[in-house]
């Protein structure tokens, strides 16, 4: 029986060693479908998920992950990739979706206003925020926005580095959806930031604009794969009611 959300979160641990037991590729794929339902900044979905089952690529990726046990013993690997470079394509997809949803002759005034606001968001605001050239435009926007911010609240994260962070935050949310979904069906995972990201991109034949968010080992946990009891700093140290 599939675990509840709370049960899955409690069950999930970073598993460093996996049993030599196959896992169902289709079940892992369905967990990636769940990953794609994660919240994402401006609904741009600037992510891709590479589900690796090929033995040779698994071996090559394990080497690119410094032969960590979590990669070397994994039965499958999932690579979470950010694609900030696809923002124009994703913005257009949102506009096409809006045109389809609101393709009615008897739209109310409220719906017409909603469509116009959403369309303007993707046609005007998103290009303003995401357009850049070698980081120069982003820095200029950052300066302008901070001057305006003296007088009123304004979005300030406009630099090239800021927009990379936005894409990686969204990808991280998708990765957590995936890992919790895996935990819910009794599968284990380990998110790995330790990798030679250039080699990972070469193995997966990714374009220059793609960035590696994390590599996730997948399998069934071996008893020795959990390296110790779970440690968290006291909740009172990180929780603040205001």
User: What is the full per-residue pLDDT of the chain (242 aa) written as tens digits?
Assistant: 899 999 999 999 999 999 999 999 999 999 999 999 999 999 999 999 999 999 999 999 999 999 999 999 999 999 999 999 999 999 999 999 999 999 888 888 899 999 999 999 999 999 988 988 777 888 888 888 888 889 998 888 878 888 999 999 999 999 999 999 999 999 999 999 999 999 999 999 999 999 999 999 999 999 999 999 999 999 999 999 99
Q: Which residues contact 228 (CB under 8 A, 6 or more apart)?
A: none
pLDDT for 141: 82
pLDDT for 156: 80
Q: What percent of the chain has pLDDT over 70?
A: 100
3-state secondary structure of 84: helix
3-state secondary structure of 3: coil
pLDDT for 143: 87
Is the pTM of the predicted complex or chain greater than 0.85?
Answer: yes
pLDDT for 161: 84
pLDDT for 47: 98
Nearest to 18 by CA among 68, 74, 91, 94: 74
- Please state, in angstroms and rounded to a whole number, the distance separating the CA atoms of residues 57 and 76: 10
pLDDT for 26: 98
Q: Which residues contact 213 (CB under 8 A, 6 or more apart)?
A: 47, 80, 81, 82, 168, 171, 172, 175
3-state secondary structure of 190: strand
Q: Locate tokens 């950052």: which residue?
A: 142
């Amino acid at each position: 029986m599939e675990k509840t959300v709370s049960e899955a979160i409690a069950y999930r641990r970073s598993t460093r060693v996996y049993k030599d037991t196959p896992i169902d590729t289709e079940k892992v794929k369905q967990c990636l479908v769940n990953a794609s339902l994660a919240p994402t900044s401006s609904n741009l979905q600037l992510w891709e998920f590479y589900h690796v089952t090929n033995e040779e690529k698994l071996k090559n990726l394990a080497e690119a992950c410094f032969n960590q046990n979590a990669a070397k013993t994994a039965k499958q690997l999932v690579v979470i990739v950010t694609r900030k470079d696809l923002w124009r394509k994703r913005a257009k997809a949102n506009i096409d979706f809006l045109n389809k949803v609101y393709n009615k002759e008897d739209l109310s005034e409220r719906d017409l206003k909603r469509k116009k606001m959403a369309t303007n968001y993707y046609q005007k605001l998103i290009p303003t925020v995401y357009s850049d050239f070698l980081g120069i435009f982003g820095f200029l926007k950052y300066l302008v926005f901070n001057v305006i911010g003296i007088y009123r609240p304004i979005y300030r994260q406009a630099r090239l580095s800021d927009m990379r962070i936005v894409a990686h935050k969204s990808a991280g949310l998708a990765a957590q959806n995936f890992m919790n979904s895996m935990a819910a069906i009794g599968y284990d995972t380990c998110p790995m930031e330790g990798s030679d990201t250039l080699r990972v991109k070469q193995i997966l034949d990714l374009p220059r604009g793609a960035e590696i968010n994390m590599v996730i080992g997948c399998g069934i946990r071996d008893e020795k794969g959990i390296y110790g009891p779970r440690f968290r700093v006291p909740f009172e140290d990180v929780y603040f009611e205001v």
